[in-house]
Amino acid sequence: MDLYNNEVGLRIATDNPDAEPDELADRVREALEQGDLVVVDRDNDLAWSDQVPLHGHGNVEDEPPLAGGRPAEGAESDDYASGTGS
């Protein structure tokens, strides 16, 4: 899903090389609304983005939060691959 959505974003950027960031964001929003992206629905199934209502994606209430965030200064990339980064 992420690789597919990244490819859509890359295509938007390469098709619009002179676009400002706000214009690119608008085009990504259009892709979302047109069903060009893949999202996770409330049943945790993959679905086209126009088949899931806005804010009706991903049922993660019973799941622990994922590790992530900005790398701490001096953190090594291996810390994030192993899940020990913050």
- For residue 77, being part of any structural domain is answered with no
- C-alpha to C-alpha distance for 15 and 9, rounded to whole angstroms: 10
Q: Reduced to 3 states, what is the DSSP secondary structure of residue 51? A: helix
Q: Which helix or strand (DSSP H or E) is residue 40 part of?
A: strand 38-40
Instruction: Please list the residues that pair with 39 across neighbouring strands.
Output: 47
Q: Reduced to 3 states, what is the DSSP secondary structure of residue 41? A: strand
Q: State percent of the chain over pLDDT 90.
A: 51
Instruction: Provide the domain limits for residue 23.
Output: 2-62
If one counts the domains in the chain, the total is 1
- For residue 85, being part of any structural domain is answered with no
Provide the pLDDT for residue 58: 73
Structural contact between residues 75 and 57, judged by C-beta atoms closer than 8 angstroms: no
pTM attached to this predicted model: 0.63
pLDDT, tens only, 36-62: 999 988 888 899 999 998 877 776 565
Provide the pLDDT for residue 66: 56
CA 40 to chain centre: 10
